[in-house]
């Protein structure tokens, strides 16, 4: 969990921020983006989109995140350091949807617009949130799972966390859809692997060993999904696996038949729209509160179609 002293200690530094930076001209704008991490190709794709927007709009953007998606303290430190530089606006993908609220409130008080991306916060402080509709996307994953296992049997989930908005929404979107629409399917386990493929591999193996009749597994982000594939492979188990995101390993697993399919987001679009919204907000222009960046389900038969290939990433 986050360290409250870290947050409180940073508040005094940020309390001195002024409001003059928010109306800066575009060419003078500095917009830091604080991500959940760097270890997944998803975040590299978000960064690529942010860099493209910065080039198109003539602003300066930085992009950083902690080494692991479990390092809430480290992310809070990065947020505090970025805000202390008096940026024109800031983009933030919360690892913990509540931990950063005191700092974000200080940003709001200093008239520094906050644009949430990928994962929102439990607050109305962000002027906009650029993200996938994760509840709807995970519900689609549940429908596909039901279709592929014949509408009945046992399934399990490996989720990256239970503190971020994405972790919560992908879990709940899948679970609620199963309960509402697929009553013959039983969810026997929901485990959390911090988005780490090695930890998710071990979790998967434990679930499979405890449930010899398991029919399917859902991995709720890139690291989770790769861990599920690897865990099943190591035990020689054949289960229907549906993932989330793309990246080289997931795409190869789908081509090889080890994973049935996955939900892809539009990470380049998330990065681009975040910077675009931040620039507008810094200029005092109106921005859309919820920026839906879209999603698709893809499998071996559809992943080379132009509209889907365009949002898959390596």
pLDDT digits (tens, 9 = 90+) for 84-101: 999 999 999 999 989 999
Q: 9 Cβ partners below 8 Å, 6+ apart?
A: none
Nearest of 225, 234, 240 to residue 185 by alpha carbon: 240
Burial (0-12, 13-18, 19+ Cβ within 10 Å), 299? middle
Cite the DSSP H helix spans in the chain: 4-15, 41-57, 72-84, 101-109, 134-149, 165-181, 197-210, 222-235, 248-255, 267-282, 306-309
The count of C-alpha atoms lying within 13 angstroms of the C-alpha of 306, restricted to the half-sphere facing its C-beta, is 0
Q: How far apart are CA 241 and CA 262, in angstroms?
A: 8
pLDDT band at 257 (very low <50, low <70, confident <90, very high): very high
pLDDT band at 27 (very low <50, low <70, confident <90, very high): low
Q: How far apart are CA 278 and CA 53, in angstroms?
A: 11
Does residue 8 register a pLDDT over 80?
A: no
Does residue 2 register a pLDDT over 70?
A: no
For the whole model, what pTM was predicted?
0.83
What is the average pLDDT across 70-86? Answer: 96
Q: Which H or E run contains 93?
A: none
Does residue 190 register a pLDDT over 80?
A: yes
pLDDT band at 26 (very low <50, low <70, confident <90, very high): low
To 10 degrees, what angle do helices 222-235 and 197-210 make?
50
Please report the pLDDT score of residue 313 as a whole number. Answer: 87
């Amino acid at each position: 969990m986050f360290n409250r002293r870290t947050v409180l200690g940073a508040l005094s530094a940020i309390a001195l921020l002024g409001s003059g930076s928010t109306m800066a001209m575009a060419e003078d704008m500095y917009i830091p983006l604080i991500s959940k991490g760097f270890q997944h190709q998803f975040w590299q794709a978000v960064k690529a989109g942010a860099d493209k927007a910065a080039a198109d709009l003539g602003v300066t953007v930085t992009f950083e995140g902690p080494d692991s998606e479990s390092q809430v303290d480290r992310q809070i430190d990065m947020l505090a350091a970025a805000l202390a530089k008096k940026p024109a606006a800031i983009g933030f993908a919360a690892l913990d949807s509540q931990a950063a609220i005191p700092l974000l409130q200080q940003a709001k008080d200093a008239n520094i617009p906050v644009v949430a991306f990928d994962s929102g916060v439990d607050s109305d402080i962000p002027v906009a949130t650029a993200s996938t509709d994760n509840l709807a996307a995970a519900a689609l994953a549940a429908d596909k799972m039901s279709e592929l296992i014949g509408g009945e049997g046992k399934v399990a989930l490996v989720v990256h966390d239970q503190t971020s908005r994405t972790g919560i929404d992908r879990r709940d979107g899948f679970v609620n859809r199963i309960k509402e629409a697929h009553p013959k399917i039983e969810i026997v386990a929901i485990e959390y692997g911090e988005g780490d493929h090695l930890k998710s591999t071990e979790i998967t193996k434990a679930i499979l060993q405890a449930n010899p009749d398991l029919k399917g597994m859902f991995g709720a982000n890139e690291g989770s999904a790769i861990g599920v594939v690897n865990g099943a492979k190591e035990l020689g188990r054949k289960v229907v696996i549906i993932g989330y995101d793309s990246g080289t390993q997931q795409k190869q697993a789908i081509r090889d038949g080890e994973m049935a399919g996955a939900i892809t987001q539009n990470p380049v679009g998330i990065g681009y729209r975040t910077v675009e919204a931040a620039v507008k907000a810094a200029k005092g222009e109106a921005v859309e509160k919820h920026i839906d960046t879209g999603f698709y389900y893809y499998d071996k038969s559809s992943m080379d179609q132009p509209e889907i290939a365009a949002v898959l990433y390596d």
